[in-house]
Structure formats: C-alpha cells, structure tokens
Amino acid sequence: MFDSLADRLQSVFKKIRGHGRLDEKSVQEGLREVRLALLEADVNFKVVKDFVDRVRDRAMGQDVLGSLTPGQQVVKIVHDEMVELLGGEHLGLQLQGKTPAIIMLVGLQGSGKTTTAAKLALHLRRMKRSPYLVPADVYRPAAIDQLHTLAGQLGVPAFASTPEMKPVDICMQAREEAVRKGLDVLLVDTAGRLHIDELLMEELVAIKAAAGPQEILFVADAMTGQDAVNVAVKFDELLDLTGIVLTKMEGDARGGAALSIKSVTGKPIKFVGMGEKVSDLEVFHPDRVASRILGM
Amino acid sequence: SAHRKFDDPFWEELEEVLIMADVGHQSAGKLLDRLKARVRKEKIEESEAFREMLRQELAAIFPEPKSVAVPQGPEIVLVVGVNGVGKTTTIAKLAHRAQMQGRKVLVAAGDTFRAAAIEQLGIWAKRTGADFFTKGEGADPAAVAYEAVDAALKGGHDVVFLDTAGRLHTKVDLMDELRKIKRVLGKKLPGAPHRCLLVLDATTGQNALSQTKLFNEAVTVDEIILTKLDGTSKGGIVVAIALEHNMPISFIGLGEKMEDLRPFSGEDFAKALVN
Ligand SMILES: Nc1nc2c(ncn2[C@@H]2O[C@H](COP(=O)(O)OP(=O)(O)OP(=O)(O)O)[C@@H](O)[C@H]2O)c(=O)[nH]1
Ligand SMILES: Nc1nc2c(ncn2[C@@H]2O[C@H](COP(=O)(O)OP(=O)(O)OP(=O)(O)O)[C@@H](O)[C@H]2O)c(=O)[nH]1
Ligand SMILES: [K+]
Ligand SMILES: [Mg+2]
Ligand SMILES: [Mg+2]
C-alpha cells in the first residue's frame, strides 16, 4: 500500500537530510521533487499545489533554515502536513442511534461497492453484529445475483430484491424484514452512477431521506486519477458522506486519489480493499500509513 | 482573433490543463516541448491558430488500429483488463455492433471467478441476441476458451468475444492464466486470438501505464478500448500510453447501454481534452 509513493518520497528526504546546511534553493529543489512524486501518484493538481505551498511557507522561515538540523525539520514539516492530509487516528463505523443501523455504499460504476458490502458484512459479523445485505442496484445486469452469491458464500442473509422494485422501497421493506429477523445492521448496495447523472443522484438522496443511514461510505478505486476530487465533492455535497473506502489497493496503485479525496471532502478513509476475496478488507490507520509513506 | 503571449504563465497554465486531464507530468512535458518548438518555428501568434496546432499535435499521437485480415472461420477476440473497468459491458457493446453488421456472434463466459459474472454476461447475450457459451462457475477459463472455439466452429459463428475475469496486472499467477488462455486459443485455432483488447477506464490515472505495460507483456495487446468517457474524466492517460507504447485506441465507451460505443477519433478526443 502506497509503496512506490513511499519510495519516491523517502529518496527525496534522504537528499534533504543529507544537506548539512539548507538554503532556500535546496528547499525549493526538494519541494519540486515532492511535487513530482505526488503528481505521479495521481494526487490532484490543486491538492498538490496547496500541500507544497503550505510546506514551503513553514519551511522557509529562519527558525527552520537557520536551525542546527534544517533537513530534519523540513522532513518533519512534510510529515505533519501528510498526517493532516490523510487524517489522524482510525475512525471505525459509527452505528449508534436507531436499530437496525444502516450503512449505504455509493460511488462510481465498478469502484467495488458490491464486493465491499460483502466484505463489511464479514467485518461486522466479526464484531458480533448481525448484518443484512440489501441489494438496491436494480439496473446493472445480475447485480442482485452478485450480492446474493456473495451472501451465500458468507452465510449472511440477504434481502430478496427484484429488478422491478424501486430502490427506496427495497430499503424500507428490507428494514422491516431486518426487524422481524432480529438483524441489526443493513448494508445497502446501490448501483454505480456518475456524479453528473442528476436523476440517479436524486435517487440516492431519496434513499438517504427515507432510510436515515448512520454511514454513507463513498467507495473509490485507488487507481482513479485527477477527476477523483470532482466526483467525491459532488457525492459529498449531495449526501454528506461519512467516510471513504478505497479499493484495489493491493496492486501498484500509488493511491494519490485517497489523499485527494480525503483532502477535498475532509471525510475519513475508513477501510481499504486489498483484494477480491471477502476477507480482503483492512481498517485504515491514517497516522500509521503517513509514517510508512514517509519512512518514519 | 485574439493575440496571445506565449510566455511562462501561458505554458504553465497549459501544463495544468494537461495534468488535470491525467496526461501526466512527463507526457505533458513532452507535448509542451513539441508545441514550444512549433510556436517558435511557425511564428504562431494567435490563440485560434495555437488551438488548432494543439489539437493536431494531440490527434497525431494516436496510431490507427490495425485492420485484422478476416480469418477463415471465427474471429477470436480476447478481452482483458483490471477489475471493474467495463470488460463485460464492452463485450455486450461489441456483440451488439457485430450483430447489427449481420455477423453471427458468440460470447463466451471466461470469467468463471467473480460472483454472478456468468449471469451478467448471459443477460447481455440475451439482450444483444448473441449466442452464449458457458461452462459454469469455477471452470478453468482456458478450457472455456478452448471449447468456445469448438462451439463457434460447429455453430458457424463469425466472431467470438471471450470475457475474462478482472485482474490486477501485478498478480503474476493471474497474468500467467491469461498467457495460458492465449496459448490454448492459438493451439486450437492457428492465429487465434486474432485480436486482444485491453479495456481501460477513463477515470484511471497514471496506473493505466503500468496496466498497459504488463497486460501487453502477457498477451500482446492489439487495441485499447477506453470506457466511461461519459463522465467528467478526460481520459488523458491514453496520451501518455500512445506516446510510450504507440498503442491504438479503437473504441470509446459512453454509457452503460449496449449502444453506448463509438469508434475512437483522435481529433474529437483532442478537442474534448483541451476545451
Ligand atoms: N483487486 C481487487 N479487486 C477488487 C477489490 N474490490 C473489488 N474488486 C473487484 O472490482 C470489480 C468491481 O467490483 P464490484 O463490487 O462489482 O463493483 P461495484 O462498485 O459494485 O460495481 P457496479 O455495481 O457496477 O457499480 C470486481 O471484479 C471485484 O472483484 C479490491 O480491493 N481489489
Ligand atoms: N458510465 C459508464 N459506465 C460503464 C461503461 N462501461 C461499463 N460501465 C459500468 O461499469 C461497471 C463495471 O462494468 P463491467 O462490464 O461489469 O466491468 P468488468 O471489467 O467486466 O468488471 P469485472 O469483470 O468485475 O472485472 C458496470 O456498472 C457497468 O455498467 C461506460 O462506458 N460508461
Ligand atoms: K474503476
Ligand atoms: Mg455493484
Ligand atoms: Mg466482467
């Protein structure tokens, strides 16, 4: 996870630390390389710019450049800003309030919502909760089948939606069914949609209004490029997201989208998908990841 | 029309536009160098003339897709790519297109792994009117490939689209599985697969370069299909791919329906990228 970004940044830091004395020019030089490393990792252009500007402002002061260990201090500034960018301690699912609790999964097409719903069901069961998988994607061919198959593999119950039903009705009926069955967390798998598809975005707003979910998780593909921020901002604007799940992180994705999405929405990254199997889900610890990226 | 100063802020702004479109820092740099040289040499002074030149430069990067000699018997098309990019849906679109051209189509369910992947392709086969081949969940995808060719030979099909499970290009065993599928196809029918299509998602950033490199190493990619261009992503990563790998793009995906496929046009793409 974030390995190649880590490699890049660490070699920049080595150079910065290596300077006995740092002047403005060598800091600028170092920051140019930090900028490149972040851009190559697909961190959004504007996010990178703000990041580098903040580090530069803090690093250029006399108290840093004139200090005994300027390199060390610059690296520390980058570290602090990186922790800020990624968020602090891990924030778990917040399921207080009404029972059954409701978790909605939303995002672009193919980002990994259905798979993540199944992964979260396993995660919840391990926390001694009783999850109920709710297929609310009535559009994609065999989407309901897909979630039912995963539910079957896990031995977790799933609501018997049909493509003829309306997503809002599915959620309401599933909630009643959950109460009858004594299940305490609904995992609502919604259809993938574009943030600019007004009709389908309205549908999510309607589900939210009717079901009152505790968690609305934005599921994003770690390989996403510059547009990640536009998408995330729109979903957040309409739905007020509660968290982010980043999928397909086990490959060589540099994961800059994660930093961008967190940065523009301010919402925490809660989980990371590390494979196709239902057990391939990790809770996300921003502070640990920041330290690992920076080799500290 | 408006005169324009081609100064540093101008080039920085253009670099920003290109990077924000996922062209990538390096490829943007290459492109800018070419443009700067031409502006100097051709003494370009007007915005419109520059725009035109930019569009030309961009469009010229993309090679034409090779035309395949139509084979005796079925043409075998292998479709590969990472998870969730749109392989199965693209097969539906290609099948629909081929059906409309009066070709007899077989789609084969080579994704025997992902939950309900076979059902998904089966529904698309029905909607497009293509014939459908499956050996069920858990079957060896190479065996599916082999028997699908048999079925097409017997059935007199003109073209077979073989779906494969999504896989990350970094997973060595899964990439070996693709190599095996390709080998088996070639043994069964000389020249097969006649085309190998790599499906890329237009929302993808720099990682698409690595995808292209590793899928190409495994199965030799003939063409790229770029999906999900109906969103706000520009898909600029294919500029970098064209520059580095000289790989043609044949089609673009513009939606979730089987009609939402268009031949790729470098000029239209360039226009959308820098507007
Ligand atoms: N390698 C990898 N693949 C994943 C991960 N999470 C999901 N996938 C795969 O990504 C593809 C898409 O996943 P889905 O769960 O169907 O995505 P979705 O968001 O529900 O898709 P739509 O409903 O079509 O919008 C599938 O092939 C999954 O197996 C992950 O963490 N790693
Ligand atoms: N907006 C949009 N969505 C698309 C396009 N092509 C495919 N999709 C959607 O993307 C999601 C994934 O498509 P699939 O065809 O299942 O992708 P895949 O590559 O076969 O996925 P796996 O087999 O799980 O790896 C589905 O929700 C499709 O409807 C496109 O051009 N535009
Ligand atoms: K994707
Ligand atoms: Mg889904
Ligand atoms: Mg598929």
What pLDDT does B263 receive?
97
Taking only the tens place, the pLDDT of each residue in B104-113 is 999 999 999 9
Taking only the tens place, the pLDDT of each residue in A235-275 is 999 999 999 999 999 999 888 888 899 999 999 999 999 99
What pLDDT does B86 receive?
98
Nearest to A111 among B82, B84, B114 (CB): B84
Asked which of A22-26, A61-65, A97-101, B257-261 is least confident by mean pLDDT, the reply is: A61-65
From the CA of A228, the nearest ligand is 3
Q: Which residues of A touch B237 (CB under 8 A)?
A: 225
Best mean pLDDT range from A47-56, A57-66, B209-218: B209-218
Is B87 a pocket residue for ligand 2 (Cβ < 6 Å)?
A: yes
What are the tokens at A79?
A: 């570290």
Who contacts B13 (Cβ-Cβ below 8 Å, separation ≥6)? none
Map B140-156 to HEC letters. Answer: CHHHHHHHHHHHHHHHC
Relative to beta strand B131-133, strand B105-108 is: parallel
What pLDDT does A65 receive?
76
Residue B76: CB atoms within 10 Å: 28
Single-letter amino acid, residue A283: V
Who contacts A196 (Cβ-Cβ below 8 Å, separation ≥6)? A234, B231, B232
Who contacts A40 (Cβ-Cβ below 8 Å, separation ≥6)? A8, A254, B24, B25, B206
Taking only the tens place, the pLDDT of each residue in A115-138 is 999 999 999 999 999 999 999 999
Mean pLDDT, rounded, of chain A: 93
Question: Relative to the CA of B253, which ligand 2 atom is closest?
Answer: 31
Residue of B nearest to A221 (CA): B204
CA distance A146 to A219: 17
Is B167 a pocket residue for ligand 2 (Cβ < 6 Å)?
A: no
What are the tokens at B163?
A: 């779906």
A42: closest CA of chain B, how far (Å) = 6
Who contacts A274 (Cβ-Cβ below 8 Å, separation ≥6)? A1, A249, A250, A280, A281, A282
Residue B131 near residue B78, CB atoms below 8 Å: no
Is A193 a pocket residue for ligand 1 (Cβ < 6 Å)?
A: no
What pLDDT does A3 receive?
80
CA nearest to B197, candidates B174, B170, B176, B178: B178
Cβ contact, residue pair A39, B230, below 8 Å: no
Percent pLDDT > 90 in chain A is: 70
B257: closest CA of chain A, how far (Å) = 10
pLDDT tier at B1, thresholds 50, 70, 90? low
The residue-averaged pLDDT of B21-44 equals 95
Element (H, E) at B196: strand B195-201
Which residues of chain A from 43 to 102 reach within 8 Å of chain B, CB to CB? 44-45
What pLDDT does B199 receive?
98
Is B256 a pocket residue for ligand 2 (Cβ < 6 Å)?
A: yes
Mean pLDDT, rounded, of chain B: 95
What pLDDT does A18 receive?
77
Taking only the tens place, the pLDDT of each residue in A221-234 is 999 999 999 999 99
Residue A18: CB atoms within 10 Å: 9
Q: B176 in helix, strand or coil?
A: helix
What pLDDT does A76 receive?
86
Which residues of chain A from 257 to 286 reach within 8 Å of chain B, CB to CB? 257, 276
ipTM over 0.85: yes
Give the CB-side neighbour count of residue A131, counting CA atoms within 13 A.
Answer: 26
Relative to beta strand A281-283, strand A215-221 is: unpaired
Residue A74 near residue A16, CB atoms below 8 Å: yes
